[in-house]
Amino acid sequence: MALGPIKKVVLGSLAFAVFWILAVFPAVPFLPIGRTAGSILGAMLMVIFKVITPKEAYSAINLPVLGLLFGTMVVSIYLERADMFKHLRVLLSWKSWGAKDMLCRICIVSAISSALFTNDTTCVILTEFILKIARENNIRPEPFLLGLASSSNIGSSATPIGNPQNLIIAIQSGISFGEFVLGLLPAVLLGVFVNALILLCMFWRLLSDVEKDSDVHQISLATMSSPKSLESHECDPITEHVTSQISPVINRDGGHSKNLKNRLSELDMCSDSCGEIELKKPVLSKKEATDNMLSEIGEQKEERFARGGVQGTMEMTTDLESGPQQSTEESKGQLNRWKRLSWKLCIYLGTIGMLVAFLMGLDMSWTALTTALIFVILDFKDAGPCLEKVSYSLLVFFCGMFITVDGFNKTGIPGSLWSLMEPHARIDHASGIAVLAIVILLLSNVASNVPTGSYFCRCNISE
């Protein structure tokens, strides 16, 4: 593609430079407006400089990508409400064999969840869990956070819904969901394995020290019980048994609490070195002492009922009526639990159905939007709080980015650069693949992966 007029090339490059600087450095001192506002500014400059017409700008916005991104965001929000990510945290900590095992689990789980629920959601949810585990066990979180960051990016490349740039590549190239997964799955599996291996080698000594310290900690906890505490613990069941029998009466009838406490004071328990119990009064067996006290309590209750008249009858009636009320509340609670469980099951099945529809080749954007709408209806309440959690700033950023990249392509600069690089980056040769991979790697780290993916798709690399 030939270069456009000099005026368009200069102004288009200026607008793209503004967008690129604010996208890579969103807090620059001279214009700290952020990444989203920077993309809008770049798009507006493309239109103001007449690099692209307003009609062409609206046409440049890729609605299928925005629809798929919005739908997957809503689905992820409802999955979070259905405790899906709590189950992931349980899976990470279930029967863990140590710090090395935890690191490998984080790499695997983060890769799988990123491929299915986007890498942003996975990182936000699991970062909190990793920091909590590190605080509770007094260990450094760096190895686990690095494993989460690297594995989530590797795993997210396995599916078109794993990250935004995959959405752009899959939709603009026309690659189906199944072909995308099959093409990248071997590389993703190898990448997750190599990544975990590198992290284990880097932090082997640190993880070994953590496991050694945890073993010492468990031994010290097991040997901290003193003989005195053990003897007092052996005497506790007798006191607990007697107290549990008389505490309801003490709580309900304050007038007789002194008599009961006096009776309890007669059981003056003292611990000998052998842990036996002695009584100052004539010695009775534990069973006889308890039976005598309970019989006296029953006599006092009968006397109170005889004196109380109507009041005592009302108290007994209240006790009888509390049973059916409590059972009704329990049945309502059980019904609510069943409703909650059924709703969770529907959310999980709906998500599986969405993935199956993707594999069947159905339109990914409309499938995601339909699944999101079904979840809203199943929730059967105002969807406002859930929809407020959608990252609308990211959607707006995409709109501005589509317009800016399309205007920059109309200057002819990307086409000219690709014409120079194409002979050295052919995908039918190993050297060409290496050159192309290096260029994409550098641009993704310098100019961000989302604009890079959009840029190469617009350049029609596949041709």
Model pLDDT for residues 10-27, shown as the tens digit of each residue: 999 999 999 988 988 877
Last residue of a domain, one of 295, 323, 351: 323
Q: Is the pLDDT of residue 207 over 60?
A: yes
Q: Do 448 and 440 meet the contact criterion of CB atoms below 8 Å apart?
A: no
Same domain, residue pair 177 and 245: no
pLDDT tens sequence across 100-135: 888 898 999 899 989 988 888 788 778 878 888 888
* 95 or 150, higher pLDDT: 150
Task: Say which range, 225-234, 278-287, 350-359, 382-391, has the weakest mean pLDDT.
Answer: 225-234
* 217 or 123, higher pLDDT: 123
Q: How confident is the model at residue 347 (pLDDT cuts 50, 70, 90)?
A: very high
Same domain, residue pair 372 and 426: no
Query: Total structural domains in the chain?
Result: 4
Same domain, residue pair 111 and 185: yes
Q: What is the mean pLDDT of residues 191-211?
A: 88
pLDDT tens sequence across 61-77: 989 989 988 998 899 89
What is the structure's pLDDT at 455?
Answer: 65
Residue 353 belongs to a domain: no
Q: Do 116 and 348 meet the contact criterion of CB atoms below 8 Å apart?
A: no
Q: Do 157 and 150 meet the contact criterion of CB atoms below 8 Å apart?
A: no
Task: Write the DSSP string, 359-381.
Answer: HTT--HHHHHHHHHHHHHHHHTS
Q: What is the mean pLDDT of residues 292-296?
A: 57
Q: Is the pLDDT of residue 270 over 90?
A: no
Same domain, residue pair 156 and 275: no
Task: Say which range, 81-90, 226-235, 404-413, has the weakest mean pLDDT.
Answer: 226-235
Same domain, residue pair 218 and 259: no
What is the Cα–Cα distance from 106 to 87, expressed in whole angstroms?
A: 13
Q: Is the pTM of this model over 0.75?
A: no
Last residue of a domain, one of 289, 323, 357: 323
Residue 62 belongs to a domain: yes
Q: Is the pLDDT of residue 431 over 60?
A: yes
Same domain, residue pair 175 and 231: no
Same domain, residue pair 210 and 265: no
Same domain, residue pair 190 and 275: no
Burial 399-432 (b: 16+ CB within 10 A, else e): bbbbbbbbbbbbbbbbbeebeeeeeebeeeeeeb
Residue 328 belongs to a domain: no
Residue 343 belongs to a domain: no
Q: How confident is the model at residue 265 (pLDDT cuts 50, 70, 90)?
A: very low
What is the structure's pLDDT at 446?
Answer: 61
The total number of residues shown for the chain amounts to: 463
Residue 342 belongs to a domain: no
Contacts of 312 (CB under 8 A, 6+ apart): 304, 305, 306
Same domain, residue pair 310 and 428: no
* Enclosing domain of residue 141: 95-222
Tell me how crowded residue 103 is: count the other CB atoms within 10 A of its CB. Answer: 21
Residue 360 belongs to a domain: no
What is the structure's pLDDT at 293?
Answer: 58
Burial 272-299 (b: 16+ CB within 10 A, else e): eeeeebeeeeeeeeeeebbeebeeebee
Q: Is the pLDDT of residue 402 over 60?
A: yes
The tokens describing 299, both together, are: 């006599």
Residue 450 belongs to a domain: yes
Same domain, residue pair 290 and 190: no
Residue that is written with structure tokens 């409400």 in the block? 81
Torsion of CA 63, 122, 104, 345, to 10 degrees: -100
What is the structure's pLDDT at 26?
Answer: 75
Same domain, residue pair 282 and 371: no
